[in-house]
Structure 1
Amino acid sequence: MQPLLLLLLTCTNQVLGQNPAIKVILANKGLQYGSHVGTDWLHEKILSMNVPDVTGGVKVGVGTVRYVLDRMSVSQCDVPEPSVNFSEGNQVKTVINGLSIALRGNWHTKFSFMSDRGSFELAVFNLDLTSLVELGSDDKGHLSILSKTCSAGIGKAEINFHGGASWIFKPFVKFFKNRVKALIETQICPIVDEHIADVEQHLTNMQVSYRINCALVLEIPLINPPHINSSDLGLDLKGEFYNFESPKEPPFKALAFDLPRADGFMLSLGMSEFSFNSAAYAYYAAGQLHITVTDKMIPPTSPLRLNTSSFGPFIPQLPKFFPNMLMELEVYARETPMFSFLPDEMSLKVPGAIKAVAIQPNGTRAPLFKLNADGLFSGQVYISEGKLRGLMKLKNFTLTLESSEIGTFQTAALENGMKMAMTIAVLTPLNAKLKEGIPLPSIHDILLVNSVLKIQQGFVSIASDLEVSSPLRGHFEEGFVCPYKTSGAYL
């Protein structure tokens, strides 16, 4: 009955004792949209409803007329817009007034040695349905959903018989209507309860880890039980990334943050710095933030080549010790890169290092020097036309000489050259991509529409409306292909 609500809850589990890194608030507007989508599901279920045969007998003074109403099926159904409300005590109440159903079927009678048959049509009007479900969690921390109460009552019914001596049924029309009305009433709530039970089983079996790519896994179990008030539903999720091959806890904890409710939107979503930094740590701890740069990787149009001659203007003694030799640079993070969020601005601090070697004619790799390379990037991100867009810039970059096998040298000129190289090779294509925009992902066929992103103190918030393309279609599908071995560089 509440498919959007159930979709949002199908990826939750409970882990106590830590702050959530992801928070979700489903507003009453979102619940109403979910109930609107749910009318299609209820409509399909009622159309496919199995109505059992009605058999019995009616005494007519000189005997009993035996009858059978069989092959009954729903031919038409009109489901009005439900009224759905959050209720204190972690409950959600759904009320549908004025539901109508039309059925058709066959009738058969037998009296003594006489028999007859024909068809009939029945319409029930003003069917009122009330359902109350309760949200909680089981002893293993999975989210639970329980049908507390369900009631269905039909206001009136009309029945018409066709074929044979159907006039004989006229004295018993009221009797037949009441029998079929009672059957319909007893069928509606089991449909609702069956769906709730299916969702409960799905929640019990639901995985809470999602492969983001070949290296990362995102864990989003429920940290606290869901909390409901009269206006919204709140979910606190773990929101931590791990390396798929070697998961480790980062040496920092998620800090508490307050996600503001976005007026006029269906959903508010907040993701703290911790989520982003746990992803960076997952790469770093697994040794995957490194890359070996060779001259073949340098664009042909670049005036600076990766050889000792090109580096001569920056390090004069280098071509003297190792004349006209190719070089390789091992670039890696020496500490975990860290994101930080300030109002309307995000920054990324990257403590890096560069080790340089010369490739001698006999193939021997001669170590040259090691530099500490510390970069600070800043930028703005926003959502426009359903895409993530933004602009990043290099705020600060320093090179310091950590060690050298060729003697000391000044790094100022090399630092300026690398600033220019990073701007051309990294920031220019990145900003071009951000200007073009990155489409927002969908989760379980839930699309974010009319979204507004804001960078807050310590977290990013998204206020959004929702669009469900195919409710409860199926399971998470991985959209990537991983090589046999995933370890390696991810810079």
Structure 2
Amino acid sequence: MDPHKVFLMLVLPWLVAATTDSTPACKIRITRKGLELVKQEGLRFVEQELENLTIPDLSGNEGKFQYTISNVTVTDLQLALSDLHFQPKQHFVFYINNASISLSFQRKLLFWVFYDIGSINASAEGVFIKTEVRMAKDMAGRLKIANMTCEASIGDMQADFDGTLSSVYGFLGSFLITGMRYLLNRQICPLLNHAGLVLLNSVLNTVPVRKAVDNHTGIDYALLSDPDVTYDTLDMNFKGMFFHLKNENDTLPNLAVSPVIKEQDRMVYVGLSEYFFDSAIYAYYKADVLKINITEEKMPKDLELLLRTTYFGNILLLKPEIASAPLKLEFQVSSPPRFIIKPQSTTISVTATADIFLVPTDLPPEQLSSITMELKLGAKVLMKGKKLQVQLDVKRFRMYSNQSALESLALIPLQNPLKTLLQLVVMPIINERTKQGVEIPVPEGMDFIKETVTNHAGYIVIGGDIHFSTSLRDVIEKYRTAPSPQPTAAE
């Protein structure tokens, strides 16, 4: 055998597998506009965290003074200047400049035989905070804050003293303020590191990775690589593959074109390839749920009459009690449909069978015929909140008999009535199922608004803005005590 052919036979399966594993069917881009909204919500979160600063009690001796400072609380916070921006290749940079923090605390002072208690109001001015956050995928394919660096400094700190010993506080004041400044400065970064690595990661845990969509299928949203960050965007590549829950390894290889997102005008963009939809249809096909039964009471009367007329000869050969039995149509997809995305249209090619039965009471159904149908369905992709939905309608329809060409000719009068049945009865049932939708991989509390859908050759791009339907704080509080999700065997 030709050595080149041998080489191709050995290498080609590996290349296909490698392409399948590394080709994303779902891409998400966050732009600067989206980051600005995240900054606003994140700033509220940082304010709430800093307001909960816990500063330990301070006590000791200074010459003839004995002092204790306790119950330190933040009374006011002014974050005048702040910014959040992308930093290539995996980072966010967040900084606060020229902020002020007002504090109050209790004092107990002993000077010789004089004992004094009371409160002190202090303010930290010129507070500077800078954090760098590195994003990465974890072992399960989930987006995580992998690392944080933090710098914090306080430009100036002042305190107002009153009480019986106020005349001598000047001596002790600078010492106490220096101590308070040191303690406050040491608390800021640990608090923010915990907020990011623990609390914000608990929000990222709400993004679906590999989960059930319904009783039949699941979806795999594992990240294929670390996010790619430029000065203007953050791009994430997801597997975007559906699977049959009872046989998770029986999946289609991803040979589709990968989505390409070039736009930056909206806050968020989601790119979905044909494979995303094909894998969904394939999973439902393997679950054997792509079938619908239409009983006689749901048929238009003219269709029932046409069916009985068309198969009158077959019915005559049956027993009288069977010949008068109700009719039933059983529609079933005979091969996995194909989702086709073009710049001007989105369609699904379907080959199905329509089996026609008489259904006598207390007797087995009697099949009259089996019809092959070829359909082209128009597909409209929608985003509602963060659920992706597809609405279908019949664009083209033709049918022929599996028995003979002669019977195919006899079926011509059934063409339009059956198409009408599909449009008025079958498609509403299917659309009611697809209305349930599937979530895209974004954290809980975030929803899409003002969506637009753009078709390309082999993929679609959904652009939109986002808003927080639930505050970041509320999501964190909901999952604060919940354990981190355990990866499944498949993860």
When normalised by structure 2's length, the TM-score is 0.82
Partner of 1:311: 307
Residue among 8, 18, 23 paired with 1:19 = 23
Partner of 1:321: 317
Cα deviation, residue 385, structure 1? 11
Higher helix share: 2
Matched, 1:401 2:401: yes
Q: Which amino acid aligns with 1:158?
A: Q
Cα deviation, residue 253, structure 1? 1.5
Matched, 1:358 2:358: yes
Any idea what the Cα deviations from partners look like across 1:364-418, whole Å, max 9, x if unmatched?
32222211111111255567999999985432211111138x9886211112220
The within-5 A match list for 1:25-174 is 25-59=29-63, 64-138=64-138, 141-174=141-174
Partner of 2:418: 418
- After superposition, the Cα gap between the structure-2 partners of 1:385 and 1:236, relative to the gap in structure 1 and judged at 3 Å, is closer
Any idea what the Cα deviations from partners look like across 1:231-283, whole Å, max 9, x if unmatched?
11110001111223333433342423242232321111111111111111111
SS in 1 for 2:169: helix
Partner of 1:290: 291
Cα deviation, residue 331, structure 1? 1.4
User: Bigger CA drift: 366-375 or 122-131?
Assistant: 366-375
Partner of 2:229: 228
Matched, 1:218 2:214: no
Q: Distance in 1 between matches of 2:168 and 2:462?
A: 67
Q: Distance in 1 between matches of 2:58 and 2:449?
A: 49
Q: Distance in 1 between matches of 2:431 and 2:360?
A: 38
Structure 2: where are the runs of 5+ without partners? Answer: 1-18, 480-491
Structure 1: where are the runs of 5+ without partners? Answer: 1-14, 477-491
- After superposition, the Cα gap between the structure-2 partners of 1:35 and 1:361, relative to the gap in structure 1 and judged at 3 Å, is closer
SS in 1 for 2:418: helix
SS in 2 for 1:423: helix
SS in 2 for 1:275: helix
Q: Distance in 2 between matches of 1:335 and 1:104?
A: 73
Q: Distance in 1 between matches of 2:381 and 2:252?
A: 27
Cα deviation, residue 112, structure 1? 3.5
Q: Which amino acid aligns with 1:357?
A: F
User: Bigger CA drift: 439-448 or 261-270?
Assistant: 439-448
Q: Distance in 2 between matches of 1:110 and 1:387?
A: 65
Task: Work out whether residues 386 and 440 of structure 1, in 8 Å CA contact, stay in contact via their aligned partners in 2.
Answer: yes
- After superposition, the Cα gap between the structure-2 partners of 1:88 and 1:200, relative to the gap in structure 1 and judged at 3 Å, is same
SS in 2 for 1:265: coil
SS in 2 for 1:95: strand
Q: Distance in 2 between matches of 1:89 and 1:393?
A: 44
User: Bigger CA drift: 266-275 or 171-180?
Assistant: 171-180
Q: Distance in 1 between matches of 2:291 and 2:82?
A: 55
Q: Which amino acid aligns with 1:38?
A: G
Cα deviation, residue 168, structure 1? 2.2
Any idea what the Cα deviations from partners look like across 1:56-102, whole Å, max 9, x if unmatched?
2222xxxx211111111111112235212222232221111012111
Partner of 2:367: 367
Cα deviation, residue 304, structure 1? 3.5
Task: Work out whether residues 248 and 282 of structure 1, in 8 Å CA contact, stay in contact via their aligned partners in 2.
Answer: no
Any idea what the Cα deviations from partners look like across 1:281-336, whole Å, max 9, x if unmatched?
111011111223222444xxx32365xx6523333413322432222222111001
Q: Distance in 2 between matches of 1:21 and 1:328?
A: 39
Cα deviation, residue 353, structure 1? 0.6
Task: Work out whether residues 20 and 254 of structure 1, in 8 Å CA contact, stay in contact via their aligned partners in 2.
Answer: no
- After superposition, the Cα gap between the structure-2 partners of 1:328 and 1:171, relative to the gap in structure 1 and judged at 3 Å, is same
> Post-superposition, which runs of at least 4 consecutive aligned residues in structure 1 deviate over 4 A?
138-142, 199-207, 379-393, 406-409, 426-434, 436-443
Task: Work out whether residues 109 and 116 of structure 2, in 8 Å CA contact, stay in contact via their aligned partners in 1.
Answer: yes
When normalised by structure 1's length, the TM-score is 0.82
Task: Work out whether residues 295 and 305 of structure 1, in 8 Å CA contact, stay in contact via their aligned partners in 2.
Answer: no
Any idea what the Cα deviations from partners look like across 1:350-369, whole Å, max 9, x if unmatched?
11012222234662322222
Partner of 1:209: 210
- After superposition, the Cα gap between the structure-2 partners of 1:17 and 1:215, relative to the gap in structure 1 and judged at 3 Å, is closer
Task: Work out whether residues 265 and 465 of structure 1, in 8 Å CA contact, stay in contact via their aligned partners in 2.
Answer: yes
Cα deviation, residue 43, structure 1? 0.9
Partner of 2:347: 347
Q: Which amino acid aligns with 2:37?
A: Y
SS in 2 for 1:313: helix
Task: Work out whether residues 148 and 197 of structure 2, in 8 Å CA contact, stay in contact via their aligned partners in 1.
Answer: no
User: Bigger CA drift: 160-169 or 360-369?
Assistant: 360-369
Q: Distance in 2 between matches of 1:160 and 1:280?
A: 70
- After superposition, the Cα gap between the structure-2 partners of 1:40 and 1:179, relative to the gap in structure 1 and judged at 3 Å, is same
Partner of 1:281: 282
Q: How many residues align?
A: 451
Q: Which amino acid aligns with 1:39?
A: L
- After superposition, the Cα gap between the structure-2 partners of 1:291 and 1:242, relative to the gap in structure 1 and judged at 3 Å, is same
- After superposition, the Cα gap between the structure-2 partners of 1:25 and 1:389, relative to the gap in structure 1 and judged at 3 Å, is closer
Cα deviation, residue 153, structure 1? 0.8
SS in 1 for 2:316: helix
- After superposition, the Cα gap between the structure-2 partners of 1:58 and 1:431, relative to the gap in structure 1 and judged at 3 Å, is closer
Task: Work out whether residues 373 and 399 of structure 2, in 8 Å CA contact, stay in contact via their aligned partners in 1.
Answer: yes
SS in 2 for 1:255: coil
The within-5 A match list for 1:250-269 is 250-269=251-270
Q: Distance in 1 between matches of 2:391 and 2:290?
A: 23
User: Bigger CA drift: 162-171 or 381-390?
Assistant: 381-390
Q: Which amino acid aligns with 2:60?
A: G
Q: Distance in 2 between matches of 1:261 and 1:114?
A: 73
SS in 2 for 1:312: helix
